[in-house]
C-alpha cells in the first residue's frame, strides 16, 4: 500500500509539477491515513470503503482537528483515490460522494499601517532582508511566488515586477518607491558579492548562493517581527493580507485588488472587503 503512495507522490512531482511543500502535505496526510488503515487491519486499497474514510475523518475530529484541516485531508484523499482509479488499482472511488466539511469564514490577521512601518523601518535590517520584506508587502506576493522571482522579472526603471502565479497566470505588479530603493541597494551592494552559480537567475539567494527557500523567508519574517516588537504572530502571508486590506482602505476598487493579488475568483478577494469593513466599524486607525 505504501508503494502506491510513493508512486502517487512521484506522479505529483514529475507529471503535475507540484511544489515540494504541497507534495510534503500530501505525504503527511496519506501516511497518517495509511497508519489508520493499518491499525484497522486493512491490507489493500481495494478493501477501503467510504465508511472507513468516514471513520478516519471522525477519529481526527475527536482528536480536535479543525474543519479546515479535515477538508484539506479529504481533498488529498479524493485526489489520491482518483489516481488509484485512473491507474486501475481500484474499480470504484469511495470518496466520490463524500462532501467537504463545512468551514467557517476565514478572516486573515493583518497589520495596521503603523505596524508595517515599524517592521520595515528598522535600522538594523540587512539589505537583503529589507528588500524581501518590502517586496512581500509592496507586491502582495505569496511566499511561493517570492521564491520564484528572478532578476529579469524586476524592472526597476519602470517600477514594476512581472509575476507568474498559480496556473501560469502572469500579472504585472507596480512597486512602491521604498521597495524599488530597497531592491536597488540589495542588487548593487549585496547580490554581486554573494557566491552563486553562473546560471543562477534567482533575485534572492541564501548564503550558499542558491535560491531562497520558503522556510528561509518564513524565518526572515519571524525574526524581523520579533526585533520590531510586533505584538501579533505574523507570517509572510500576513504581509500579503495587509497589502490587500490597505489598498481597499485607500479606496482601490476590489477588481483591481483581485488582479494585483492574482486571485482567479473574486469571492476570495471579497474576504478582504469584509475585513476592511469590520476594521472601519471598529474604529481601527488607518493612514490617509
Is the Cβ–Cβ distance between 234 and 111 less than 8 Å?
yes
- Is 114 labeled as catalytic in the residue annotation? no
Out of 6, 35, 109, 166, which one is annotated catalytic?
Answer: 166
Is the Cβ–Cβ distance between 70 and 115 less than 8 Å?
no
- Is 16 labeled as catalytic in the residue annotation? no
Question: Which residue's C-alpha cell is 543562477?
Answer: 200
Is the Cβ–Cβ distance between 156 and 182 less than 8 Å?
no
- Is 263 labeled as catalytic in the residue annotation? yes
Out of 61, 160, 237, 279, which one is annotated catalytic?
Answer: 237
Out of 142, 191, 241, 246, which one is annotated catalytic?
Answer: 142
**CB-based contacts of 245: which residues, under 8 Å, 6+ apart?**
110, 272, 275, 276, 279
Out of 81, 137, 186, 272, which one is annotated catalytic?
Answer: 272
Edge-to-edge strands, sheet with 160-164: 154-155, 160-164, 170-174
- Is 237 labeled as catalytic in the residue annotation? yes
Closest by CA position to 56, among listed 70, 76, 41: 70
Out of 72, 73, 130, 240, which one is annotated catalytic?
Answer: 240
Out of 128, 241, 246, 263, which one is annotated catalytic?
Answer: 263
- Is 27 labeled as catalytic in the residue annotation? no
- Is 35 labeled as catalytic in the residue annotation? no
Residues designated catalytic: 142, 166, 237, 240, 263, 272
Amino acid at each position: 500500500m505504501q508503494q502506491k503512495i510513493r508512486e502517487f507522490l512521484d506522479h505529483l512531482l514529475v507529471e503535475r509539477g507540484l511544489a515540494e511543500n504541497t507534495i510534503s502535505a500530501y505525504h503527511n496526510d496519506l501516511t497518517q491515513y495509511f497508519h489508520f488503515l493499518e491499525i484497522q487491519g486493512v491490507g489493500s486499497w481495494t478493501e477501503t470503503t467510504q465508511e472507513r474514510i468516514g471513520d478516519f475523518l471522525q477519529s481526527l475530529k475527536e482528536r480536535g482537528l479543525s474543519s479546515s484541516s479535515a477538508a484539506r485531508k479529504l481533498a488529498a484523499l479524493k485526489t489520491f483515490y482518483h489516481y488509484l482509479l485512473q491507474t486501475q488499482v481500484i474499480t470504484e472511488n469511495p470518496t466520490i460522494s463524500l462532501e467537504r466539511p463545512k468551514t467557517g469564514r476565514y478572516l486573515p490577521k493583518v497589520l495596521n499601517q503603523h505596524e508595517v512601518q515599524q517592521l520595515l523601518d528598522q535600522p538594523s535590517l540587512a539589505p537583503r532582508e529589507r528588500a524581501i520584506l518590502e517586496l512581500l508587502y509592496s507586491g502582495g506576493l505569496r511566499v511561493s511566488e517570492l521564491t520564484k522571482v528572478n532578476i529579469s522579472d524586476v524592472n526597476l526603471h519602470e517600477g514594476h515586477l512581472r509575476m507568474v502565479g498559480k496556473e501560469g497566470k502572469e500579472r504585472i505588479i507596480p512597486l512602491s518607491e521604498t521597495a524599488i530603493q530597497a531592491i536597488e541597494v540589495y542588487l548593487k551592494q549585496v547580490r554581486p558579492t554573494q557566491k552563486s552559480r553562473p546560471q543562477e537567475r534567482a533575485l534572492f539567494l541564501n548564503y550558499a548562493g542558491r535560491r531562497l527557500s520558503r522556510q528561509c523567508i518564513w524565518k526572515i519574517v519571524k525574526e524581523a517581527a520579533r526585533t520590531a516588537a510586533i505584538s501579533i504572530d505574523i507570517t509572510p502571508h500576513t504581509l500579503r493580507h495587509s497589502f490587500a486590506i490597505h489598498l481597499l482602505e485607500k479606496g482601490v476598487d476590489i477588481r483591481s485588488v483581485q488582479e494585483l493579488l492574482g486571485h482567479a475568483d473574486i469571492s476570495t478577494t471579497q474576504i478582504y472587503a469584509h475585513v476592511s469593513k469590520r476594521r472601519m466599524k471598529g474604529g481601527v486607525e488607518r493612514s490617509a
